[in-house]
Chains A and B, each alone.
Chain A
C-alpha cells in the first residue's frame, strides 16, 4: 500500500451529551478498527479541543463543551465509514448493560479479624504458617472470637500474649498446635464423632483427647465439649493459661457435669497449680496428666466412668489370638499421635527399660537423626520435624508404611505397635492402605524365618465416618491384633516382647 496522508473526518454533533470517561472508552474502541490511524470522540471542552488540535484535527469554529466531536484519521473512506459505524455502535452501547453484574459483591475477607467482624462468628480456626499466625489470631480475639490455632512454630511469647488478651476479653485460645476440639457437638480438625453427654474435657494433647473421648463414647458416655489447649499450655512458660480459661468455661457450662483435664507430661509446678485451681471449681475435676507412675488415659476414663456410676466395659479388641505368638526381637512403635506415643513409652519402659525415641522421655534416649537403633524404639511420625512439607501421618501414611516395610526386614524387630486414629480430618480409609502393608510385612518376616507381630491401637468410635468395626476387621484379617485402648495394646505388645526377651 502506498504511504498517503489518508482521510481526516471531523464532525460535530449537537445535543448528544456523553460523559468524558465513556467517550475515552469509545475512542479506544474506534481506534482499533481496521484502517483507522487515530480516533478521538470527545465533548468539545477546551481541553479536548486542544487534544484534537494536537492530534492534527481541524475542529469547526464555535464547537463548544456541549457538542460531541467525532474525529477520525483513516486510510480511506471505507475505513472512515467502518469507524463511524463503530462510533455509533459504541455510543449506542453506553447504558445498555443489563446490570447483570449486579451492584458489586462484598469482597472476600482478606484477614481473620475482618471476617469475624463481618460474621460475628464465635470461633476462628487458624492454620496459616506459624510466623503469620499471631496476626490472624490477634485479629480474631480483638473482634470477639475465640481461636483454635492449628498452626505450629508459633513463638512462645506470642502464645502468652494471645492467651493474656483472651483472658482480658473472656475468650479462649485453643493452641497453638491444637488439632482437636469438639464444641457444641461440632468436631474441629481431627475429632471423633461423639455422643453428647456430661463430660467436659480440656486437653493439652490432640490424640490424648481423641483416645479419652473415644473410650468414653464406647462406654456409652457422652461429651459436652472437648476444648484444646495446645501442647505447650502446661509448660512453665505458658503456665496453663488456656487450661484455666477452659476450666472456667466448662465450670460455667450448663451441659457439663464432670470436668477432665488430659495432658502429656506437664511441668510439675504448673501441674500443682492446676490441681489447686481445680479444687476451687464448683464441679468435680479429674486430672489425667501422663507421667511416670501416673494413671494411663484408659485408667482416667475408667475413673470418670466409676465417678459417674457407669459400668466400666471390657475394651473391645479384634483379632487377638487366643495364644500369644512366640516372637524374638524388640518393640518398634510407629505412631501418628504424640500423646499415644508418650503413653506407650511410659507403659513399656516399666517393663522393658530404655525406649529410644524422637520424642524421648529423657534426653539421653533420643534417637539419632536417621531414627535407627537396634533396641526398643518408638517414633512419633506426627512430630514437627517429620511433618515439614508433608501432610500429617493421620492423613498421609506414606512414611509410616515405608518404615513398617523396613521393620519387616529388620532381624531385631519382633513386635510393631501402630496407632490408627479415625474421625473427622483423618484419612478416609486408613485400613485400605495399612492392612495390605501389615500382611506384606508379616509375610516378609515369615520369609526371613521370623514371626513379626503387629499390634494396632485403633482410636475411634462407631459413629466415625470410617466405621470403627470395618476398620478393625480389615486390620485383624491382615493379621494384626487390634485394641481400642492404647494402654491395652501397649501392654499386649510389651508382653509379647518380654516373652521373647525371657
Chain B
C-alpha cells in the first residue's frame, strides 16, 4: 500500500486565494506560505487550462529545455550579408516582426534610409525615403533567415555579418558587426559619418576579422562564443546592456590569428582600436549565439517555451516552440531608464531590436544579478538586480548551469520562458535595452528596462490552446 505523504506529521501548507485559510492555519501553528496571486489577464483562463492540460506539454517543454541547454555556438566565418544570407540588391533585413513603411517607427525608417544610402541606391536621404515609400524595395525580419540584428537591426547586402554554427547539427545564425554607440545606423542615424563608418567596416573591419576567423578555423581552433558568454557573466556582464568583458575576451581569443593572417599594421591598429573602444562589440556575437540556443527548441509540438522575442520599434513579437514561425504581437512599450545628455522620455522611441534574444536565451535582463554595475538602470540597488533575476525563475522552465551567477552561489540563469507561466503569474519577462531616438536620424538617447506587452502572450496562449486537444 502506498502512503500519502500529506498524512505524515503536521503538513506544511501553501495557500492561494482568500486569507481565511492562511489565518486559520497560522492560528494553529502551521507553517504557511501565501502565494501573491493575481488573476491572469481577462479572457485567458480557458486557453490557459487547455494548454496546461495538454498531455504533451511537460515532455515537450522538458525537451525544449534540454535542447537549449545542449546548444553550441562557434564563430566560423565573417562575410558579406549578400553572400551569407542570400540577400540580393534592394533587399534588406530588419529587427522584430514584419513591418510596413507606413507603420515603421522613426529609427527603423532612419536605419533603412541609411542602408539605402550605404548601398548607393539613392544619393540623398529624401531620395532614399521616396524609394523606400515607393514599394520597389523589400525587407523582412532577420529572424526569417535565422539572423538577428540589434536595435533597428537593418542588414543590407554589402554589410558584413558574423556567421555562427552549432557543430552538432549544423544550424547557423548570423548578425551584423557592431558599429559602436551614439549616432549609429542601428539607432536610426544616417548622417555622412554613419555611412562612412559603415564603409570602413565593410572595407577594413570585416575582411580583417574574416582573415582572423578563417585562420583560427583552419588551424582547428574552436571560437566558442558560449564559453566567452559563460565567462563574461562571471565578470559583470549580462550580455545585453553590458558586454565589456566579452568584448575584451573576444579580442584576446581572436587577435593573434588576425595578426598572423597578415593584416597590414596600420589597418590592424584601426581594427583593434575600434573593437576595443566599443564595449558593445561583443553584443553582436552574444545575439547570434543566443539565437542558436533558442532556435534549438523551435518546432516542438505542444511546447509553450518562447523561442523568439523581437521588436521593430512599433510591434513587439514573440514566437514559441509549439507554434512554428507564427508571430504573436502587441504594441512595443517605451523603456524606462537613464538618458544621455539632455534627452528625456519624450525623445525615446518604443522598444526596438532583436537583442531580446538574449533574455529569450536566459541572459540579459534575466542575468541582471550578474551585472550589479548596471543595476541603476532599474533605478535601484544591487539587491534589486538579484531580486529581478530571481523573479524570472518563476516564468522559466529550466536553469542554465553553463551561465552560473556568482552572487547567487553560481546558480544557473533562468532559461526558457514558458508562456503558461507568464500568463498564470502575470510576471512579464524583464528586458534590458538601449533606447533609440523617436525621430529618424537621432541615434541613441539612453538605456533602460522594458517588458513585452501581455498581448503577445495572450495571442500565444490562444494559439497553443487551438493546437492542444480539447479537455474532456
Seen from chain A, the residues whose Cβ lies within 8 Å of a Cβ on chain B are 19, 21-22, 24-25, 28, 31, 38, 40, 45-47, 50-52, 54-55, 65, 97, 99, 101-112, 114-116, 118-129, 131-132, 134-136, 138-140, 142, 145-146, 150-151, 155-158, 160-161, 170-172, 183-189, 225, 245, 248-249, 251-253, 255, 282, 395, 424-425
Contacts and interface: CB of A to CB of B under 8 A. Distances in A.
Given A21-B374, A24-B339, A103-B382, A110 B14 contact: no
Contact of A127 (B10, B21, B27, B30): B21
Contacts of B15: 124-127
Contacts of B383: 101-105
B28 A47 contact: no
Given A121-B33, A127-B21, A139-B424, A112 B386 contact: no
8 contacts: A121-B14, A122-B8, A124-B14, A127-B15, A127-B16, A129-B39, A252-B4, A253-B4
Contacts of B382: 99, 101, 103-104
B434 to A, nearest CB: 11
B4 A47 contact: no
Q: Which of B11, B40, B377 lies at the interface centre, i.e. has the most chain A CB atoms within 10 A of its CB?
A: B11
Contacts of B407: 103
B121 interface: no
Contacts of A124: 13-16
B7 A225 contact: yes
B2 A248 contact: yes
B194 to A, nearest CB: 12
B16 A157 contact: no
Contacts of B9: 184
Q: Which of A115, A249, A255 lies at the interface centre, i.e. has the most chain B CB atoms within 10 A of its CB?
A: A115
A481 B6 CA distance: 40
A133 B326 CA distance: 29
B186 interface: no
Contacts of A395: 20
Nearest to B5: A122
B426 interface: yes
Interface in B423-466: 424-427, 444, 446
A171 B3 CA distance: 9
A25 B58 contact: no
A51 B340 contact: yes
A115 B376 contact: no
A155 B382 CA distance: 45
B387 A125 contact: no
Contacts of A123: 6, 11-14
Interface in B376-422: 376-377, 381-387, 390-391, 393-394, 407, 420-421
Q: Which of A127, A160, A425 lies at the interface centre, i.e. has the most chain B CB atoms within 10 A of its CB?
A: A127
Q: Which of B183, B383, B385 lies at the interface centre, i.e. has the most chain A CB atoms within 10 A of its CB?
A: B383
Contacts of B340: 24, 47, 51
Contacts of B53: 134, 138, 158, 161
Nearest to A161: B53
B24 A187 contact: yes
Contact of A146 (B4, B37, B182, B375): B4
Nearest to B37: A128
A107 B33 contact: no
A294 to B, nearest CB: 29
A161 B387 contact: no
A103 B58 contact: no
A252 B2 CA distance: 7
A125 B13 contact: yes
B266 interface: no
Interface in B20-45: 20-22, 24-25, 27-28, 30, 33, 35-40, 45
A107 B387 contact: yes
Given A101-B383, A110-B35, A425-B24, A125 B14 contact: yes
B25 to A, nearest CB: 7
B52 interface: yes
B4 A138 contact: no
Interface residues of B, number: 78
B168 interface: no
B341 A40 contact: yes
A461 B45 CA distance: 41
A465 to B, nearest CB: 8
A46 B33 contact: no
B373 A21 contact: yes
Given A104-B386, A115-B16, 9 more contacts: A21-B374, A28-B338, A38-B341, A47-B444, A103-B407, A134-B48, A186-B13, A189-B21, A252-B1
Contacts of A101: 381-384
A54 B376 CA distance: 24
A104 B387 CA distance: 5
B277 interface: yes
Contacts of A112: 14, 16, 35, 37
Nearest to B48: A135
A128 B11 contact: no
A277 B30 CA distance: 34
A297 to B, nearest CB: 24
A11 to B, nearest CB: 17
Nearest to A281: B1
Given A52-B341, A134-B49, A111 B11 contact: no
Nearest to B369: A104
Contacts of A106: 387, 390
B278 to A, nearest CB: 9
A21 B11 CA distance: 48
Given A132-B45, A189-B21, A157 B471 contact: yes
A21 B377 contact: yes
B2 A425 contact: no
Contact of B394 (A19, A50, A114): A114
Contact of A187 (B2, B28, B36): B28
A122 B25 CA distance: 14
Q: Which of A40, A51, A108, A184 lies at the interface centre, i.e. has the most chain B CB atoms within 10 A of its CB?
A: A51
Contacts of A255: 7
Nearest to A252: B1
Contacts of B373: 19, 21
Contact of A22 (B8, B25, B376, B390): B376
Nearest to A171: B4
A47 B447 CA distance: 14
Nearest to A162: B53
B6 A110 contact: no
A292 B33 CA distance: 44
A186 B29 CA distance: 9
Given A107-B387, A116-B14, A121-B11, A170 B425 contact: no
Contacts of B377: 21
A40 B341 CA distance: 6
A108 B384 CA distance: 13
Contacts of A225: 7
Contact of B11 (A47, A142, A186, A249): A186
A122 B37 contact: no
Contacts of B446: 24
A73 to B, nearest CB: 9
A282 B377 CA distance: 65
A150 B13 CA distance: 14
Contacts of A172: 4, 6
B376 A24 contact: yes
B2 A186 contact: no
Nearest to B236: A19
A51 B341 contact: yes
B452 to A, nearest CB: 17
Contact of A249 (B7, B18, B341, B444): B7
A109 B342 CA distance: 40
B4 A109 contact: no
Nearest to A246: B4
Q: Which of B16, B25, B39, B183 lies at the interface centre, i.e. has the most chain A CB atoms within 10 A of its CB?
A: B16
Q: Which of A103, A126, A136 lies at the interface centre, i.e. has the most chain B CB atoms within 10 A of its CB?
A: A103
B472 A160 contact: yes
A138 B421 CA distance: 12
B412 to A, nearest CB: 15
